[in-house]
Amino acid sequence: MSIESRHIQLMDTTLRDGEQTQGVAFTPTEKVSIAKALLQFLRVDRIEVASARVSEGEKEAVSQINQWARQEGFADRVEVLGFVDHTRSVDWIRSTGGSVINLLAKGSEKHCREQLGKTLEQHSTEVLQTIAYAHEQGLKINIYLEDWSNGYKDSPDYVYGLVDRLRHSPVSHFMLPDTLGVMAPDEVFNSFHDMCGRYPDLLFDFHPHNDYGLATANVMAAVRAGISAVHCTINCLGERAGNASLAEVAVVLRDKMNMQLSIDESHLVRISNMVENFSGKRVAANAPIVGADVFTQTAGIHADGDQKGGLYKTRLGPERFSRTHSYALGKMSGKASLKKNLERLEVELSEEDQKKVLARIVSLGDSKQTITTDDLPFIIADVLESKSYQHIKLLNCSLNSGLDLQSTVSLRVEIQGENHQATGAGSGGFDAFIDAISKVLKKYDYRLPELADYEVRIPKGGHANALTECVITWNCGNELRKTRGVHVNQVFSGIMATIKLINIQLHEMKSSAE
């Protein structure tokens, strides 16, 4: 069923409904920062920033937001949830300099009867009384019909009766929430199609929740049925399973339904990161649009296809969100994945060196699932300076360390075709390894030189799972020698650097003997 393209308002309720997420409480400064970002940079049409009469801290935050909004021309786009309490919510909002109240009425007969103990007539009279006072005080008025989804299903006549009593009052938007997230797309479409057809002169908003993981699909159904605005949150924050994700809704409405929106997509990820940091609720790496990994290709065949003709690219490209495409390096990597990353680093390698580097990446991928572009210079440097000497091979090595306990090592090595086992102890894992390997090397009249320096580092901006590079400077008599080891474990990076030196010196001993 085709539908005509039209403008859909996005109302962000991160600062109100999103703050009802378990464990989330924004400070006034954080609230102001998020509000400014939403309106000034992301350009959402409206924001809901608080519930009236919650706390003095909330009042301070709302006052600061409203003061800024008035100066910037956004005053009528900042909304506060209010209650059917005649003057109290209205006066609270007015005292903060607010211009809009989102009045919370009962959208289901069961809530009205069992929670309030009132009839439709009694409740609607009190709602109209609060509306009249808000209008008298100069506020713009929207109204929530709380639990509308269950109310419409269980007692549609109650819903019609409430809307009939309010439709001629000064209400701008009738906001219909799926408060408990119980609707499926066909139910959303049928109910909104009925409401929009029955009341063509009213503006309806849809306020979805994501309890069944259907929030975005439900938004599509509501828009298809004719609603004019959708409520969302950044990062899907909200009670229980959260609200609809603003990023998902925005992209789906544009790409899949050809709707017109006000928002600037290039700021979605930056604001997602801001809310993630302030809320303490982490975004899944595979979350659509804003997840850390969603524009990363892992399989080598995908990188190959993109290189040969953009075969795996879609309209959902990273550039529109101020992001970049990346190609993960690991055990599933191919030549194309490596080439893409080398291009990004502006590094050229011969075909032979690319093969060596790729082999090392695949090997590391067994112990570290993904190698980043930041890790790659370490690997390149390590591979290019490595010689093909195989006088000593580390076959196995087990480390045990504990707080205030000596570290122990058990290892198995092959030297010139012969297997050896040894154990060692020391003040740390590397010290224990040196003790163990020295016992083996005595049999070959070889003694490790003294350490002159030992440096461990990770890539700039690296994460806790970044590769570790260890560069050891050895005091080899008349000269200092440096060897490098790269591994996901910093102790093993030192061990790799040590094995490299042993290989070099065993080779020199063999050559001089010949």
How far is Cα 148 from Cα 205, in angstroms, rounded to an integer?
12
Question: Is the separation of the CB atoms in 33 and 253 below 8 Å?
Answer: no
Identify which of 300, 322, 243, 338 has the alpha carbon closest to the alpha carbon of residue 10: 243
Question: Is the separation of the CB atoms in 165 and 132 below 8 Å?
Answer: no
Residues 6 or more apart from 112 whose CB is under 8 A from it? 106, 118, 119, 120, 123, 158
How far is Cα 97 from Cα 220, in angstroms, rounded to an integer?
35
21, two tokens: 């997420």
Catalytic residue chosen out of the listed positions 146, 239, 248, 469: 146
> Given its phi and psi angles, is residue 443 left (phi above 0), alpha (psi -120 to 50 degrees) or beta?
alpha
Active site residue 48: no
How far is Cα 348 from Cα 339, in angstroms, rounded to an integer?
9
Active site residue 224: no
Question: Is the separation of the CB atoms in 206 and 219 below 8 Å?
Answer: yes
β-strands 229-232, 203-207: how paired? Answer: parallel
Q: Reduce the DSSP state of residue 112 to 3 states and report it.
A: helix
Residues 6 or more apart from 319 whose CB is under 8 A from it? none
Question: Is the separation of the CB atoms in 151 and 211 below 8 Å?
Answer: no
Catalytic residue chosen out of the listed positions 16, 46, 77, 484: 16
* φ, ψ (nearest 5 deg) of residue 422: -160, 160
How far is Cα 340 from Cα 307, in angstroms, rounded to an integer?
8
How far is Cα 227 from Cα 193, in angstroms, rounded to an integer?
9
273, two tokens: 């990161």
| Number of Cβ within a 10 Å radius of residue 198 | 13
Q: Considering only CA atoms, give the Rg of the chain.
A: 32
Catalytic residues: 16, 146
